[in-house]
Amino acid sequence: MKNITINKGIVVGAFLFFGIAIFVAAVFTIGSQRKTFSKTLSVKVVFDDVSGLQPGNNVWLSGVKIGTVKKMDFKGNADVEIQMNIDRDAQPHINRDSRAKISSDGFIGNRIVIIFGGSPGAGTIRDGDFLRSEKSVSTDEMMTTLQENNKNLLGITGNLKVISQRIKDGEGTVGGLINDPTVANGLSSSVKHFKAASQNAESVIAKINDFVTGLNKEGTLPSELIHDTLVYSNIQKTVAQLKDASQSISEFSSNIKQASLALNRTDNPAGTILHDQQVANDLRVLTRNLSTSSEKLDQDLKALQHNFLFRGYFKKQAKEKPNNLSQPK
């Protein structure tokens, strides 16, 4: 009986030992997962919507778990203040201007807090610091956007179905190109004409190339004009002379213009003669009087020749006239 009692005590003691060992292992395992026994610092962030985040959810930095969510409290009207326990080992990698957002562990996994960004110049976080929050796209918003995209895709596929049916029925330009042989033949003819035009263009380009090559050929006039400095100098002199001649012609034309303008005015003799009718009439009278006086003077001279007082003089002149004509000059 005594041996049996001892055996039962040993069994009970063994069960108690293993139970305590399992309990301690579980405590340490859970504490390790939740960073209960590790050195941490408290960091806070305020969100307007936590999207199902709960205490105990993980905090990630660059895809590595660095802490857990300790508690959540309402702040203000509808904002939520989240307190996170962050490992001391991750402190040098988190800057004071870093931001935090709520995401999910996988597409439909548990909610997590992701810390990202920041500049080294801002310094590292300290216990009790606040991080700025950034609104993240929730799963509901993603599903709503996906649903809208599905509706748009359905509308696009419907339009493509209508367009393909119209093309199949030969409607429109594309349908005509596919189903109407006349349009296809016309397009083929246009392509041939375009090919011929391209060949002509290549021929023209080749001729232009030959022409340019000829310009650089020695002994030709274009080559002399381009490369011979003496010819270029002579051309410059000729151009200068032409410029002087053009200037002289311009001055001559200006003088003629001024003269014509002067003839159109009555403040000078020529303009007065051309435009003043009274002066013209006076000139006609003067000319007529001169003609009459000339006739009368001729008659008077003839009368003097027949006058006996001057008859001897005129006879003497008539005799000397042939002698004067025969003398050498």
| pLDDT on residue 177 | 66
Q: Which CA distances in Å does 139 have to 47, 103, 107, 109, 149?
A: 17, 9, 8, 11, 15
47-91 confidence digits (pLDDT tens):
988 888 899 899 999 889 999 999 999 988 888 999 999 999 888
The pLDDT value given to residue 44 = 93
- Percent of the chain past pLDDT 90, that is, above it, reads 16
Whether 54 and 82 have beta carbons less than 8 Å apart is answered as no
pTM of the model: 0.39
- State how beta strands 40-47 and 130-133 pair: parallel
φ and ψ of 95, to 5 deg:
-90, 160
pLDDT exceeds cutoff 90 at 43? yes
Q: Let me know: does 65 contact 10? Beta carbons within 8 Å.
A: no
CA distance linking residue 60 with residue 87, whole number of Å: 11
pLDDT for 222: 65
Q: What is the mean pLDDT of the chain?
A: 78
Handedness of CA 286, 289, 291, 297 (dihedral sign): negative
- On the question of pLDDT at 1 being above 80, the answer is no
Q: Under a CB-based contact definition with an 8 Å cutoff, are residues 174 and 167 in contact? A: yes
pLDDT digits (tens, 9 = 90+) for 263-277: 666 676 666 666 667
Percent residues over pLDDT 70 in the chain: 72
Check residue 325 and give its pLDDT.
Answer: 46
DSSP conformation class of 276: -
Residue with tokens 């041996």: 3
Confidence of residue 329 (pLDDT cuts 50, 70, 90): very low
Residues 96-150: pLDDT tens digits? 999 999 988 876 678 899 999 888 888 899 998 999 998 876 667 777 888 888 8
E-strand stretches of 276-327: none
Rounded Cα–Cα distance for residues 319 and 329 (Å): 19
pLDDT at 95: 92
